[in-house]
Every structure is written in structure tokens, then in C-alpha cells.
Structure 1
């Protein structure tokens, strides 16, 4: 075989391998090729997963030398501006000297538009990744703001480059991402469940789960909700709290905004979701050690609102759950609720049974009163007795749970026991010590006791009984709804009527019946008397900390 024949056979073999049907029909090969093309021309992506190590090496080399010897190094550094590398967790965007130098270097590539657009991609990726709106680094915030202006100023330039790509078109349609309120535009749609814009951003701009955009859209929803009517705003609170719960950097900002808006409601009745979420993340505003956290985010009127919620809840918990004197507890509950605005501080002294009870209600009480509850003991003190201690001015009022125990009043600055000490004696050596020089009064719950208590409170503190402002519900409109309960109410019509009545009083109905659960009215024990009578007539029972419930067959 001569040389020409050998060459002919080699060419035939090569052509056959190139056009082999099986080779070009390989789906994985086609998909890989497609991804490579989209990566180069159509999507906003990183320099590539395989280049992550090279990116880190380039960033650290730039950190050491301050030099970018070629385009490849500049490109890698652009894609690594928002990540941390090395033992010292070096982050380039937080470098006040080298980051501006990088921007100046990238600007030189405008003479080579394709290279400039690739570097722009890297910078844009870092812009979306770095939390510039909430970063604790002042240099990082400053550089991020400068980068925002640079990307915005060069957007038109990269859009003009050939071939046209999808991500630059998408970026142009969402130039709001380069403003001081980058995501407000999406708030209303997201609040209604429309995610089309965000889906487009995630796809075309390759936003990762770390991107601040995906966090700021939650703040945008909160802002959108705050602009709605009181009733509509309240409908969104629970879902918005669930969204911010895992986001540590934005959680306090979002919670503060929700609390501020709720305080402006015409009737800022106790909101269980806001109350419990606040306690979980900020602690109780009744504790001075937690007061600084609250003051850093919201103003005093808002703190006072939540503080009053907690006091109201504590009074209700004591007389609805911890007190052991039957129907008389309602009289005492309603009496002390009228002094909630005058109560400066309060404590629980819990007997053995309350301390050892691990049902959800008792656990919640101990958690809510953390730092403000003590163990109640002493010779002859019943295991199921508890005490409620309220400071009004310079007087401390002590109420016991079990019927037959008198109430005692002491000078707050001259007590025969220590508040918050972990243990308090419930006998004549402690809470009932009438011989101590700080003892001011002893009162019993005889018939007509309310007048004596009011007179004593006024004499010692000047406080007068008033209805709690934030808890007063609107009365049920007369003749608006029929209140008779049908003998066998149809569930749908009954629940609809209940929703209207609850809404008229400022409360929310939660229906779990479709899941085999109960029907709930999220309202406190101390609801409007007329409304409470309706709930009781309709078979609702009160569960402390949650509200009123009943089964629907």
C-alpha cells in the first residue's frame, strides 16, 4: 500500500468517527456542549465550578502582590470579590485599597469589549452575593456601593456588545437592582403569590440562595404589606414572620418594621404571633438586660405595646391557669386587667405543681416569665398554690392563686424577701410577713372586695382603674348579626358568621377542621363580655396562650 492509499484510509476513518450517528446522538454530550455555549454567551454564571480553586489562588495572589499580570488573573479575581479565602478569611470587596484598584484595571478592558463583559459578569456576580446592605464592614459597604454605581454606569456599554445575550437584556429590564431600594418593585406581586419576576432573575442572572436579592424581596413584601389596610396587613403577619425567621441579618429589620406598622393599627390588640416571635429573638422587654436590644430597633411606644401584651398575658395566665379558686378568678382577672397600664413590673412565684408541670401551657408560662419567676415554698405552703407579684409605683401587691389567701402590699424598696432570687417564702416569713416594717396593707376577697382594693391602690400609688387601651375591642354592632346558635349549625355558614363576629371585635378565626383539627378564635380570655358569652354559648373553650377552640363535626 503506497503512501497515498494510507493517507486516504486515515482520512476516511477520521471522517467516519466525526460523523458517527451514535456519537452525535449522545444526549449527555449535546447537553454538555449546550451548557458550554450558554455559559460563554447566554447566562450570567461564574467562571465555572472547576475554576473555584483558581479563583481563590488568584485572589490571594492579588492580595499579596497587588498586581494583575494578565486578563486571566483579572477575570478570576472579578469572580472572587465576594468570597473569603485563606486562613484570614480575606474578602477582596472589603479591601479599601485593592478593590478600587481592581475596578480601575477592569476599566482598561473596554478596548476589548468581550473581555470587559466577562469581567463585568464576575463583578456583577459578586455584587449580588455580597450583603452590602447589611454588612458590618464599613469598607465592604462603601466598596459595594461604588460597585453598584460602576455596574449601573456600564450597563448600556455591555448591552451593546455582540453577540447579544439574555442576561444583559434581563439586567436592563430590572435596573432597579442598582438603586437604594432594589427590590421594592416586586413586593406587591410576591405578596399575592406572583413569583414570575423573581423566577426570571434566578434563571437569567444565576442568583444563588446566598444572594441578598432573595432576602431583600422578603423586606419588599413586608413594605408592601405595611401599606395595606389594618385588616389586610394583619392577614399577612404570620407568613412574613415565617419568611424572616431563618434570616439572621434581616430578621430584626423585618420584625421592627412589622411591629412599627402594627403599633399604628387603630386597635393594636395582642398579636400572639408577633408577641412570641419577639420573645424568641429579642427576649422579654420586661427584662432590663433585653431592653437595649429592643431600643436599638424600635421606639418606646412600640416597646410599651409589647410590654403591655406580656403583662396582660401574664395576668390572664395566672388567673386562668395558675389560680385555683374557680369562678372567683374571673372577677380578679377583670379587676387587675384594669390596672395593666399602671403596673410597672410583675413576677410569678410558682408552687411545686406549676414548676414540675411540663405541658405546653406551663412550659410557655415559664419561658415567657424567664427571669421574672421564682419558686414558691415554705412550711405548709400548698404545692398547687402560686403567687402573683405586681409593682405599681413603690408598692408591691401580692395575690395568691388559692382562694382564702389574703393579698398583701409591701414597700417595693423595703421587702422581707428578694425578687428574682430563685426562691420566695410564701409564709409569714416572706410574702405574708405583716410584721415587716415595709408591710403596707392586707386585703381579703370578701363580698365587695373590689372597692377596698381600689381604695387601697389609690391611697398607696394614686393609680386608678382604666380599661387597657390596646386591648379594648370594638363592641359587636347591634342587630348586625343574629347571635342565636342553631341546634345543629351548618359548618360553612356557622364559620362565616363567626369570622364576621371575630373581625368586628378585632380577632382572627383559624380553621383547622379540613385537616381534622379544631376551629380556633385567636382571642384572649378577657375578650369583650358579649363576645365571650357568645363563644361560651357556642361551646368554645379557652386554652391559655392560644385562644378559644371547639370541635366542628
Structure 2
């Protein structure tokens, strides 16, 4: 008996081993399992899958083998078809329907379903922004979500591929909320769970998954308190920069949330990122139809960032350009007193400044930031100019003596504010020297005090004046020309004057120190609902416009028009 057993063992090639040593069995078992796992998520050659997808996009019929091949190349742009994908094909819904029927019958090859999963994750949102491609990808996601339970059931419990095991725990990646459970961890830098998921499911670096993860992190951050949200902004920008697939949606969400922060102080990193020429461009270009991405956010949000840019331009002009000629003369400090009222700015560079960009890093950076927004002077190479609008006036400052500062009415300019080139003399920017202007400021000793008084005559006051009228919370203020008794009589008789919701209006006004409501609608002589703001703040004006208010130049105040 012993001889027979020994002979049998020798015949099987096991004579070198010993019984009772499990490691001799475990090693080949692991090797077999690795081999199985490899086959379980094997993909056809890229060339064959691409050829099948090209055939499909061209509208040619697929044979049985090509129907399996094309599954893993549905999101692949076909070069010969101008980058079209199978996802965008009109034939794609019928292809999915045929796969659906095979799944129901239990006939769909598991590797074909895995190929469809690969195409789902291989979709690149940067390369597939058109609606047909996006709709095709969403249809693929719906197919995978609806058929996964059947695939899961058919897989059984023995010798299950790794990707099946992963999907059993992470089936949410096939839903409309695929990244919610990972996004905040990713924002905090805890990337190990997502990296492991990506490796197990074969998610490529260009996949929509990573971009959606960033967008999910952005949306999660917006739910935080103001201080925490603002602390997270640099990290959010870093994530967006690395995964820009949903960049515009992410920036829209960040900017709107930032505007809602109390006080919304300027954020240099956010400003510099969003204003890049390769991102949303300078917000000053919105009116010219060049920076159209700014249409994604409400007007007050755009004006917030525009204010940040205007503030930087004011400081750059005097710190970099005027300072080069020792010609500041206190002008930066003077105009900073009106900073909150500046609604628009434009830099006009002379030839010397344009030449300096080759050797001066500060000038080079300044010109680059203003790309598409700046103008040039043609007759004064050593001079730069700065335009700023305050209320209904456009003010022109120059960087070098003996040029004066000119204040023009914005609707009566002797030049076009968006021209690309200016002479810089009395032919345009300094035309007020000859034909007159609203105000001419000469920078002689004591000029600041005189200029402030002259500007007051035009209704332009510094940003922090003593408030003229501060309404009590929850009430509307009155003026000497309004008789409270008449208002009380009118209300007692049930009068309801037309206009915005007063609670909403009063809440709005309470946010702006010095602003007040003057409601004259119920007086015996009739009147309008007015809002006065001595500071002419852009943000308040934007929100009043949204409520239906209009600006009255004659009174320098906002009014609600009669219905």
C-alpha cells in the first residue's frame, strides 16, 4: 500500500513536497486568484475597442464581437470623426437597450458590463461638454445603476472579482450623488479612501469622478460657518486648479457663498485666481461681452469682485506708476477715502510703462492682470492715466505733473471710455482744460482740502461721513416734508401703497450705515418711496435695482417708480 501511494505521489509531481505544509498550497492558490482577478477585469486591446467605437460612430453595424468591444470605448473621442464619441451617437440608446435585455436574460458577459463601467469612469468632462455626450453619459450611469443588482446577484459568492466586491460596498458611485461620502474627507486631505477606490475600480486621473469630488468638496465647504468657509477657500482653489472639470460651477458656488459672508472682506487669492485670463478674466470686461463667465453669478457678487479689482488698481496706480515719478502727492490717501464708491476703473499706460514690462516684474504683473481691459496713451510716453467712476462722475488722474485731475459727468464725456488708445491731452482725457468739465483739480499745496469741498458740491462725499439719518430697526424714517399724521390716517383707512416689501427693504438698509428710507407715498400731496445713501455704495445700488428701484440724478437717490 505504501509503495502504491508513493508511486502515485511521484506520478503527480509532488514528491519534492511534504504533506502537512499548507504554504505549499496557499502560494499556488494566491497565484491562481491573482490570475482570476486579472481575467475578471481584463479589457480588450485599446486598438480593437477604438476600432469598434469608430465603426459604431460612423453608423456601421457591429458584429457580436464588436458589441462587446465597444463597451469599453464608449467615452473615447474618435479622431477620424472630429472627436465624436459613441455616447453622443443617436444609436447609443438602442445599444444600451440591447445590453439591458441581455442582463435580464443573464446572457450579458460580465466583462462586457465591466467594460461599460470603465467607460462610465473614463468620461472626461473637459472633452465632453456638449449636451449629447453629457446625456449619453447620464444614460450610461442610469443603466449601470439599474442593472447592478442583477449583475451582483449573478456574480454569486464564490470567486468574486475584486471590482464586484468593491461595488457591493460602494454602489453609491453609480448614483446621482457618487462622491458625497468622500468629498469632505478629500477636502481635509484624507485622500487614502478615494485613492484606494480609484485603484480598485480603475478610475483614471482624467475621470469626471475627480472633478465631481472637488465640486462636492466645494459645496460641502459652503455649509460651514463664515470663518471656517473663508479658511477653506485657499484649499478649495488648490483642488479646483488640479481638477478643473467643473471649475466654473465650483467658482460660482464659492463666490456666491463668499458674498454672503458678513462683511465679505477682499480675498486676494480668490480675486487673483478667478480674474486670470485663462479663468473668468477681469470682471471689468463683462460689459464688453468678453468676460461672459461673470454672467454666472448675480450682479451684486460680480460687483463685489469688481470692487476688489478697483481697489487694487487704485493702489497699483499710485504705488507703482505715480510713485515712479515721485508724483503721488498724497493722492492715494485722498482717493482711498472714496474707495467704497468707486464702481469702475481703467488703467491707461504710456509707452514707457509698456516698455518697462520687460525689466520690471511689478509692471509686468500689473499689465498682465489688466490684459484686455487697459488702454494706451499715444502722445505722452512718460505719462500713465487712471480712470475711476464715482457715482455719476468719471474722474481722470495722471501719473505725472503738471497734469491736473479732471472730473467729468459720466453721461457727457468728451471721449469714449472703452477706446483702446488715447492721445492723453486736450483732444480727449484732458479736454476739460479747454471745453470745461464738472471739476478740475490742480495738485498744489493744500489741494486735498479744496478738492474734498469741491467734490462735496457735486454730491461726492468721503466713505465715512457722519450719518444724516439712521432709521430705527423695523421702521421707516421720515423727513421734515413728511407729515406722520397723514401717514397714520392713510394706514388707518387701509391704504397699501405700491412698492417692495418694506420688511425686506428695511432689513437691506440696516446693513448699510448712513443709508435711510424716505417714504412719501402716503402724504396728502403724493410722493415716492426713496432710499438715500450718501456713500453711493455699489452693492446697495445693485440690490435696490434688483428690488425695482431706479436712480434719480437730480436728487442723487434711489426711488421706486409708480406702477
- Normalised by the length of structure 1, the TM-score is 0.69
Once the 2 structures are TM-superposed, how far is the Cα of residue 316 of structure 1 from its aligned partner? Answer: 0.9
What is aligned with 2:485? none
- Aligned mates of 2:428, 2:56 — CA distance in 1: 71
- Aligned mates of 1:199, 1:172 — CA distance in 2: 18
- Aligned mates of 2:361, 2:121 — CA distance in 1: 43
What is aligned with 2:367? 366
Query: Within 5 Å, which residues of 2 pair with 1:105-504?
Result: 105-112=99-106, 115-131=108-124, 135-160=128-153, 161-162=155-156, 163=158, 164-245=160-241, 247-280=243-276, 281-287=279-285, 288-290=287-289, 293-324=292-323, 329=328, 331-358=330-357, 359-376=360-377, 378=379, 383=382, 385-402=383-400, 405-417=403-415, 419-428=417-426, 430-446=428-444, 448-460=446-458, 462-466=459-463
Aligned partners of 1:325 and 1:402 also within 8 Å: no
- Aligned mates of 2:377, 2:125 — CA distance in 1: 51
- Aligned mates of 2:464, 2:110 — CA distance in 1: 66
Once the 2 structures are TM-superposed, how far is the Cα of residue 257 of structure 1 from its aligned partner? Answer: 1.8
Q: SS in structure 1 opposite 2:262?
A: coil
- Aligned mates of 1:338, 1:90 — CA distance in 2: 56
Alignment partner of 1:78 out of 71, 82, 104: 71
Q: Kindly report the root-mean-square deviation, in angstroms, between the aligned alpha carbons of the 2 structures.
A: 3.7
Once the 2 structures are TM-superposed, how far is the Cα of residue 177 of structure 1 from its aligned partner? Answer: 1.4
Aligned partners of 1:189 and 1:195 also within 8 Å: yes
- Aligned mates of 1:259, 1:86 — CA distance in 2: 37
Q: Cα deviations across residues 275-331 of structure 1 (Å, max 9, x unaligned)? A: 111121111111223565234321111100110001101111122222239998484
In structure 2, the CA distance between the partners of 1:255 and 1:134, relative to structure 1 (3 Å rule), is farther
Q: SS in structure 2 opposite 1:397?
A: strand
In structure 2, the CA distance between the partners of 1:438 and 1:247, relative to structure 1 (3 Å rule), is farther
Alignment partner of 2:88 out of 79, 83, 94: 94
- Aligned mates of 1:66, 1:261 — CA distance in 2: 50
- Aligned mates of 1:84, 1:291 — CA distance in 2: 29
Structure 1 stretch displaced more, 203-212 or 161-170? 161-170
Q: Which has the higher contact order (CA 8 A, sep 6+)?
A: 1
- Aligned mates of 1:110, 1:428 — CA distance in 2: 82
Once the 2 structures are TM-superposed, how far is the Cα of residue 184 of structure 1 from its aligned partner? Answer: 1.9
Once the 2 structures are TM-superposed, how far is the Cα of residue 205 of structure 1 from its aligned partner? Answer: 0.6
Once the 2 structures are TM-superposed, how far is the Cα of residue 420 of structure 1 from its aligned partner? Answer: 4.8
Aligned partners of 1:117 and 1:158 also within 8 Å: yes
Once the 2 structures are TM-superposed, how far is the Cα of residue 448 of structure 1 from its aligned partner? Answer: 4.7
What is aligned with 2:46? 52
Aligned partners of 1:187 and 1:223 also within 8 Å: no
Once the 2 structures are TM-superposed, how far is the Cα of residue 231 of structure 1 from its aligned partner? Answer: 2.8
Q: SS in structure 2 opposite 1:439?
A: coil
Aligned partners of 2:56 and 2:86 also within 8 Å: no
Aligned partners of 2:183 and 2:217 also within 8 Å: yes
- Aligned mates of 1:60, 1:443 — CA distance in 2: 70
Aligned partners of 1:344 and 1:392 also within 8 Å: yes
Q: Cα deviations across residues 401-458 of structure 1 (Å, max 9, x unaligned)? A: 3466432223445555554544434445554444533533222334553443234334
Query: Within 5 Å, which residues of 2 pair with 1:1-40?
Result: 36-40=35-39
Structure 1 stretch displaced more, 233-242 or 263-272? 233-242
In structure 2, the CA distance between the partners of 1:103 and 1:66, relative to structure 1 (3 Å rule), is farther
- Aligned mates of 1:104, 1:181 — CA distance in 2: 26
Aligned partners of 1:46 and 1:79 also within 8 Å: no
Once the 2 structures are TM-superposed, how far is the Cα of residue 194 of structure 1 from its aligned partner? Answer: 1.2
Once the 2 structures are TM-superposed, how far is the Cα of residue 55 of structure 1 from its aligned partner? Answer: 1.8
- Normalised by the length of structure 2, the TM-score is 0.68
In structure 2, the CA distance between the partners of 1:178 and 1:445, relative to structure 1 (3 Å rule), is same
In structure 2, the CA distance between the partners of 1:340 and 1:417, relative to structure 1 (3 Å rule), is same
Work out the number of aligned pairs and report it. Answer: 439
Once the 2 structures are TM-superposed, how far is the Cα of residue 110 of structure 1 from its aligned partner? Answer: 4.4
